[in-house]
Copies of this chain bind each other. A is one copy, B any other.
Amino acid sequence: MSRLDKFINRMTSQRACLNHAANLTSDMPGPVYELGLGNGRTYHHMVEIMPGREVYVFERAVASHPESTPPDEMLMLGDVYETLPQALERFGPTASLIHADLGGHNPKKNDEFARSISKVIEPMLAKGGLMVASDRMYFEGLTEQPLPEGAVEGSCFIYG
Q: Which residues of A are at the interface with B, using a C-beta cutoff of 8 A?
A: 2-5, 7-8, 11-12, 14-15, 40-42, 44-45, 48-49, 65, 67-68, 105
Among residues of B, the one whose C-beta sits closest to the C-beta of A67 is B3
Q: Besides A2-B49, A4-B11, A4-B41, 14 other CB < 8 A contacts?
A: A2-B41, A2-B44, A2-B45, A2-B48, A3-B65, A3-B67, A3-B68, A4-B15, A4-B45, A5-B45, A8-B11, A8-B12, A11-B11, A12-B12
Contact A3:B105 (CB < 8 A) given known A8-B15, A15-B8: no
Task: Give Cα A14 to B2, complex, Å.
Answer: 13
Task: Give Cα A12 to B150, complex, Å.
Answer: 14
